[in-house]
């Protein structure tokens, strides 16, 4: 069965299954295995993955339609994580916002460390409710400029990621944002989603 023959509802059901696997794996890794770096790497990687469904293409300066780059895809979902993430982006980096993507996502995925600065990746010692996880910190990423240090707080980032993922799916189900639905369908037709059954 080709994905192009699937209805939007079928595509969305498969996407929900896929993203459910993401959050289930992250939750088990965080609470049961206490795999702090694995969870952090998963969170930033999945942030980029979901951003690819929100904005897979853009129009170049020459008017051509081209694929968005991995950093652009990361930020498409990153800005949905909550206002504190957007504030961090604007407050510390301004025009140089690529540093959050490069320091965190590229650092964790390619170097197993956050780049350029001191850092701590925080995990959790016991299962907690989403409300308790949100109370841990105001944001899943904190930059302490006094000591030039990143604080990557897995539990908070996880709950913000899960909430943003659920809100995105709800927005797709509502169907009022045609561009969002079109981008989702376009990206879903490019990946091997037909095997999510």
Contact 181, 8 (CB under 8 A): yes
pLDDT of residue 19: 96
CA dihedral for 21, 26, 32, 33, sign (positive or negative): positive
Most distant CA pair in the chain: distance in Å? 56
- pTM of structure: 0.89
DSSP state of 93: I
Q: Cα–Cα distance between 142 and 183 in angstroms, integer?
A: 31
pLDDT of residue 2: 45
DSSP state of 5: G
Map out the domains of the chain as residue ranges. 12-189
pLDDT in tens, the chain (197 residues): 344 578 899 999 999 999 999 999 999 999 999 999 899 999 999 999 999 999 998 888 888 888 988 888 999 999 999 999 888 877 766 556 567 787 788 777 887 877 777 788 888 888 888 888 888 899 999 888 888 888 889 999 999 999 999 999 999 999 999 999 999 999 998 887 777 76
Q: What are phi and psi of 90, to 5 degrees?
A: -75, -40
pLDDT of residue 166: 98
Q: Cα–Cα distance between 76 and 10 in angstroms, integer?
A: 24
Each residue's pLDDT tens digit, 116-138: 777 888 888 888 888 888 888 99
Contact 81, 161 (CB under 8 A): yes
For the chain, what percentages of helix, strand and coil (3-state, to nearest 5) are there? 65, 10, 25
Which CA distances in Å does 43 have to 3, 34, 46, 74?
A: 27, 14, 5, 11
Average model confidence (pLDDT) for the chain? 87
What's the token pair of residue 114? 């956050």
What's the token pair of residue 171? 């927005």
Which residue, chain included where needed, has tokens 């965190």? Answer: 104
Q: Cα–Cα distance between 101 and 165 in angstroms, integer?
A: 19
């Amino acid at each position: 069965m080709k994905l192009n023959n699937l209805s939007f509802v079928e595509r969305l059901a498969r996407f929900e299954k896929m993203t459910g696997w993401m959050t289930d794996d992250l939750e088990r890794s965080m609470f049961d295995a206490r795999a702090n770096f694995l969870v952090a790497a998963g969170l930033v990687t999945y942030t980029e993955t979901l951003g690819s469904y929100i904005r897979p293409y853009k129009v170049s300066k020459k008017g051509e339609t081209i694929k968005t780059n991995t950093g652009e895809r990361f930020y498409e979902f990153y800005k949905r994580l909550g206002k504190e993430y957007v504030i961090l982006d604007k407050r510390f980096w301004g025009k140089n916002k690529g540093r959050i993507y490069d320091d965190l996502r590229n650092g964790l995925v390619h170097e197993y460390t956050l780049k350029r600065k001191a850092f701590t990746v925080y995990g959790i010692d016991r299962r907690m409710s989403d409300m308790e996880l949100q109370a841990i910190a105001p944001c899943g990423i904190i930059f302490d400029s006094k000591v030039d240090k990143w604080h990557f707080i897995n539990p908070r980032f996880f709950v913000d990621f899960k909430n943003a993922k659920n809100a995105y799916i709800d927005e797709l189900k509502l169907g009022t944002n045609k561009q969002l639905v079109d981008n989702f369908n376009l990206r879903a037709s490019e990946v091997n989603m037909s095997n999510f059954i």
